[in-house]
Copies of this chain bind each other. A is one copy, B any other.
């Protein structure tokens, strides 16, 4: 098998951990696999480099930040390759450039344009384990660019695609993707598999296993990947395109998002244009809105409600002042201290009664539902933040997701 593995900064955060990664790769090599390992900078290194930059300038140039910060991964790949050599494994390091990663867009948050796998394929053919720097590439001008948050996952998935790997493994400090956060729901279980789309919906509501764009890239190019632990050899969770068998599972998982707030604007005239004005004002103030609900009351006036992170509440109130000034009867209601609970599953498409089960379970537990929002494979509700853990548990139980 041709395997691409990705180890994050914590997994290569000390010399001993680098040696541990080398041992794991050695094992795969002995089993006859072709292996490419994508690594991040040693944990703490990127922050250290950023603080060096801050000594030079309050707002260092992003081009130069990329030149500086990309040295972190370059150091990791050299060190891991040396450790592999000590175990007798033929290995070569490759920077983003050598891996053929061509980037585009702004420095510090570039996109992967394409990957030329020629050099990596040559290294495979010569029998080497490849140790590739994640998070980086070069643009068409030959300038170093980094990919921003979660960039190493993206590197791994893109490299796996370009070298036509059989599997891409994202090694992390959890055993896989769980039906719920195990710190909240004690009997949460690890999933064997999940579709890209389900993971995207779970990721967007607080289960931060991976950045959405890495999953989206995998989905776009159909790159199967596995989230698994770097601390043991247990199978993790396989993330693939949707399969017919997946529909038999009604709800894949439950996720929660704390520290939410609701803003409601009342008595909006039932005329075109108000929704646009409101959203434009919030957007201009960089308030990230999550759920959006609009209702017409009996008097024919509309009510718009939004949820957002509580930290954005002050900015949202300020942004909406000008809109309210144009609304003679309008008022602003705000509510902090709420949280969001979501059920996600592609089985929802073919199974009815999901909402009934969810709302029923919450009602039986005496948990009041605030806002409700649904998509094709997700149902989200807001509840009082103090009740969110209980809410997650009863809904998890209602769908029999526990072990």
Chain A interface residues toward B at CB < 8 A: 15, 18-19, 49, 52-53, 55-57, 60-61, 63-65, 67-68, 70-71, 74-75, 77-79, 81-83, 85-86, 92-93, 95, 97-98, 119, 142-144
Partner pick for A49 among B75, B86, B93, B142, CB 8 A cutoff: B75
B97 and A79 within 8 A (CB): no
B93 and A78 within 8 A (CB): no
A95 to B144, CA, bound (A): 9
Tell me the minimal C-beta distance from A274 to chain B in angstroms: 45
Residues of B within 8 A of A65 (CB): 78
A52 and B75 within 8 A (CB): yes
A168 to B129, CA, bound (A): 43
Residues of B within 8 A of A68 (CB): 74-75, 78-79
* Known A-B contacts A92-B63, A97-B142, A98-B142; A57 and B82 likewise in contact (beta carbons under 8 Å): yes
Tell me the minimal C-beta distance from A43 to chain B in angstroms: 15
A71 to B74, CA, bound (A): 7
B81 and A61 within 8 A (CB): yes
A79 and B93 within 8 A (CB): no
Residues of B within 8 A of A49 (CB): 75
A79 and B52 within 8 A (CB): yes
Which residue on chain B has the smallest CB distance to residue A42? B52
Partner pick for A67 among B56, B60, B70, B93, CB 8 A cutoff: B93
| Consensus secondary structure, chain A interface | helix
A68 to B276, CA, bound (A): 53
* Known A-B contacts A61-B85, A97-B142, A98-B142; A53 and B67 likewise in contact (beta carbons under 8 Å): no
Which residue on chain B has the smallest CB distance to residue A69? B78
Q: Which of A18, A56, A71, A93 has the most CB atoms of chain B within a 10 A radius of its CB?
A: A56
Q: Which of A67, A142, A143 has the most CB atoms of chain B within a 10 A radius of its CB?
A: A67
Other 5 A-B pairs with CB < 8 A, given A49-B75, A64-B82, A71-B74: A15-B52, A64-B78, A64-B85, A74-B74, A97-B97
Tell me the minimal C-beta distance from A188 to chain B in angstroms: 38
List, sorted by A's number, 6 A–B pairs whose CB atoms are closer than 8 Å.
A52-B75, A57-B82, A61-B81, A63-B92, A67-B93, A70-B74
Tell me the minimal C-beta distance from A391 to chain B in angstroms: 48
Which residue on chain B has the smallest CB distance to residue A141? B119
A53 to B85, CA, bound (A): 12
A70 to B65, CA, bound (A): 17
B92 and A56 within 8 A (CB): no
Tell me the minimal C-beta distance from A229 to chain B in angstroms: 24
Which residue on chain B has the smallest CB distance to residue A83? B56
* Known A-B contacts A67-B95, A81-B64, A95-B67; A86 and B57 likewise in contact (beta carbons under 8 Å): yes
A251 to B390, CA, bound (A): 92
Residues of B within 8 A of A93 (CB): 63-64, 67
B75 and A60 within 8 A (CB): no
* Known A-B contacts A61-B85, A63-B92; A53 and B71 likewise in contact (beta carbons under 8 Å): no
Q: Which of A15, A65, A85 has the most CB atoms of chain B within a 10 A radius of its CB?
A: A85
A61 to B83, CA, bound (A): 10
Q: Which of A65, A82, A85, A142 has the most CB atoms of chain B within a 10 A radius of its CB?
A: A82
A202 to B77, CA, bound (A): 42
Tell me the minimal C-beta distance from A115 to chain B in angstroms: 15
Tell me the minimal C-beta distance from A86 to chain B in angstroms: 5
* Known A-B contacts A49-B75, A75-B49; A56 and B95 likewise in contact (beta carbons under 8 Å): no
Which residue on chain B has the smallest CB distance to residue A82? B56
Residues of B within 8 A of A61 (CB): 81-82, 85
A358 to B49, CA, bound (A): 56
Which residue on chain B has the smallest CB distance to residue A87? B57
A92 to B143, CA, bound (A): 10
A55 and B15 within 8 A (CB): yes
Tell me the minimal C-beta distance from A175 to chain B in angstroms: 28
